[in-house]
């Protein structure tokens, strides 16, 4: 039995942050674009760190190039290193695109990357160069993710002579799914295929970061959103972005890929939270029915019915149970809504993000009687999260693998969802969204609680 009393250390600085570096999210986006190589403008250690987390989660080879800063580069600037890195990547990989993300070091010394890249297009033939500013001291890996999506769409859809009035529309929908699992992305693609609707999803790392074994070495894995499709996003009939916090950021004047297309090309934008649970998935399908003029296929109605029946069957096991939810802000909002829907109280909703929008998003998602039982924290690390959770007596915690130590100290189960999951196999195949995803999550949570009752019982339960 793990002792409940853990020696406390005076809190002086962030320990085990509930977030990862901003360039990691950008690198993931670039791996979701066909023929693209991410390049970090900074030290070699940054590239190694990003690769470590992506490889341990996706269990696939992940290449991330680096401009390889040294001591003199940090003093005199990294322009020459960046140019050489681009030339080397172009010569070795022949990429369709190179996604360049700046690290804390290059941002701190003030490297003017747009100026460095100016004129390099001719030197790299047909390779598109995309730059996104991603210093980790200004955000999280999710901020880097959204920033990279925006940068790619902006680079591939310039206004240049086109006007909102003379664009020919096309029956296609742009999907910006946010930082979801491979299985989530595949499920979204399945839904649009079943609706017989043309779509472009960005990014799409579902095949590139989970493909079959190779017979021969591949410099760049197959899969990803084709660049030619990204270039036609300005012809779509509508765009859909997933993420409550992202939507709130746009409402406050921030930019996203969807808002850029709306501003430049007058493409309508639908912003939703992640469709996790019955209520959120109902809203997702409602908007899809309006956008596509197509009714929900029968198979999804059946999935919905089975899910509601499962809620009834398992209610006695989950009712009034208490959970700690942590991770990316958009994920926390969606998961808290799902837990409340099945009768579980998300007593602590915590994130390392600092958008300032988490509490408001939860207010819009949770019923007042649930909300008053919820503690909300932003900018948290796991040290402070554990301290806060101790007073709330949770029955389990739900989030990524970084919360394992906290769950061990609290002596409660950890339900692994989200990113990263590096201490189990199959994290990239966890389905979170849709009725089917909610069904799998519900079964996992109920069975986790049942196992906990069996494991902690003096005699055990043979039947429940």
- Which residue is listed with tokens 């977030």? 19
Contact predicate 446/438, CB 8 Å: no
Write down the pLDDT at residue 3.
43
The candidate with the shortest Cα–Cα distance to 144, out of 246, 19, 249, 26, is: 26
Query: Where do the domains of the chain lie, and which CATH numbers do they carry?
Result: 22-156 (3.40.50.1980), 172-209+219-292 (3.40.50.1980), 299-456 (3.40.50.1980)
Residues 218-236, buried b or exposed e (16+ Cβ, 10 A)? eebbebbbebebbbebbbb
Q: What are phi and psi of 128, to 5 degrees?
A: -85, 130
- Over the range 345-384, which residues count as b (16 or more CB within 10 Å of their CB) and which as e? bbbbbbbbbbbebbeebbeebbeeebbeebebbbbbbbbb
Question: Which residue do the tokens 């709130």 mark?
Answer: 248
pLDDT at residue 1, rounded to an integer:
39
pLDDT per residue of the chain (464 residues) written in tens, 0 to 9: 344 445 555 666 777 888 989 999 999 999 999 999 999 998 888 888 889 999 999 999 999 999 888 777 777 778 888 989 999 999 999 999 999 999 888 888 888 888 888 878 666 778 999 999 999 888 999 999 999 999 999 999 998 755 555 555 567 999 999 999 999 999 999 999 999 999 999 999 999 999 898 888 888 999 999 999 999 999 999 999 999 999 999 999 999 999 999 999 999 999 999 999 999 999 999 999 999 999 999 999 999 999 999 999 999 999 999 999 999 999 999 999 999 999 999 999 999 999 999 999 999 999 999 999 999 999 999 999 999 999 999 999 999 999 999 999 999 999 999 999 999 999 999 999 999 999 999 999 999 999 999 999 888 777 77
> Whose structure tokens read 């200004």?
138
- Alpha-carbon distance 386 to 397, whole Å? 10
Helix axes 257-265 and 141-156, enclosed angle (nearest 10): 30
Q: Minimal CA–CA distance to 346: which of 308, 313, 381, 395? A: 395
Q: What share of the chain is helix, strand, coil (3-state, %, to 5)?
A: 50, 15, 40
Q: Are 381 and 352 in contact (CB under 8 A)?
A: yes
Instruction: Provide the H-helix boundaries in 244-390.
Output: 244-251, 257-265, 278-292, 298-318, 329-342, 358-365, 368-371, 382-390
pLDDT of residue 166: 52
What are the tokens at 354? Answer: 């600092």
- Please state the pTM of the whole predicted model: 0.93
d(CA 99, CA 108): 20
- Lookup: tokens for 224: 């990803």
Sign for the CA dihedral angle at 276, 278, 283, 285 comes to positive
Element (H, E) at 193: helix 182-194
List of residues 6+ apart from 125 with CB closer than 8 A: 90
Q: In residues, how long is the chain?
A: 464
């Amino acid at each position: 039995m793990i002792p409940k009393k853990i020696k406390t250390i005076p809190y002086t600085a962030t320990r085990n942050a509930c977030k990862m570096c901003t360039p990691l999210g950008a690198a993931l986006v670039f791996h979701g674009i066909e023929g693209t190589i991410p390049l970090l403008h900074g030290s070699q250690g940054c590239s190694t760190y990003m690769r470590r987390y992506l490889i341990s989660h996706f269990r696939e080879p992940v290449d991330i190039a680096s401009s390889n800063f040294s001591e003199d580069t940090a003093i005199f600037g990294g322009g020459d290193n960046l140019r050489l890195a681009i030339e080397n990547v172009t010569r070795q990989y022949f990429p369709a695109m190179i996604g360049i993300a700046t690290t804390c070091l290059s941002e701190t010394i003030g490297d003017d990357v747009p100026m460095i890249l100016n004129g390099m297009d001719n030197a790299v033939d047909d390779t598109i160069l995309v730059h996104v500013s991603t210093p980790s001291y200004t955000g999280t890996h999710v901020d880097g993710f959204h920033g990279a999506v925006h940068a790619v769409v902006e680079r591939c859809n310039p206004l240049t002579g086109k006007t909102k009035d003379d664009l020919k529309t096309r029956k296609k929908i742009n999907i910006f799914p946010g930082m979801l699992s491979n299985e989530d992305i595949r499920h979204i693609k399945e839904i649009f295929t079943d609706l017989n609707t043309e779509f472009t999803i960005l990014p799409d790392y579902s095949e590139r970061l989970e493909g079959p074994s190779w017979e021969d070495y591949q410099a760049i894995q197959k899969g990803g959103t084709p660049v030619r499709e990204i270039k036609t996003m300005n012809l779509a009939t509508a765009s859909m972005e997933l993420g409550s916090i992202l939507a709130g950021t746009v409402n406050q004047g921030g930019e996203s890929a969807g808002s850029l297309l709306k501003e430049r090309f007058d493409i309508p934008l639908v912003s939703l939270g992640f469709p996790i649970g019955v209520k959120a998935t109902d809203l997702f399908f409602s908007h899809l029915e309006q956008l596509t003029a197509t009714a929900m296929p029968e198979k999804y109605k059946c999935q919905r019915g089975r899910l509601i029946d499962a809620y009834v069957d398992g209610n006695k096991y989950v009712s009034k149970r208490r959970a700690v939810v942590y991770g990316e802000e958009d994920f926390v909002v969606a998961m808290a809504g799902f837990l409340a829907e099945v009768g579980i109280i998300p007593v602590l909703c915590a994130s390392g993000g600092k958008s300032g929008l988490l509490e408001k998003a939860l207010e819009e998602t949770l019923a007042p009687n649930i909300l008053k039982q919820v503690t909300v924290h932003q900018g948290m690390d796991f040290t402070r999260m554990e301290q806060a959770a101790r007073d709330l007596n949770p029955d389990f915690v739900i989030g990524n693998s970084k919360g394992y130590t906290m769950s061990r100290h609290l002596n409660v189960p950890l339900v692994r969802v989200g990113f990263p999951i590096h201490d189990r196999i199959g994290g990239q195949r966890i389905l979170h969204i849709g009725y089917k995803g909610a069904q799998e999550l519900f079964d996992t949570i109920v069975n986790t609680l049942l196992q906990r009752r069996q494991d902690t019982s003096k005699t055990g339960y043979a039947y429940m």
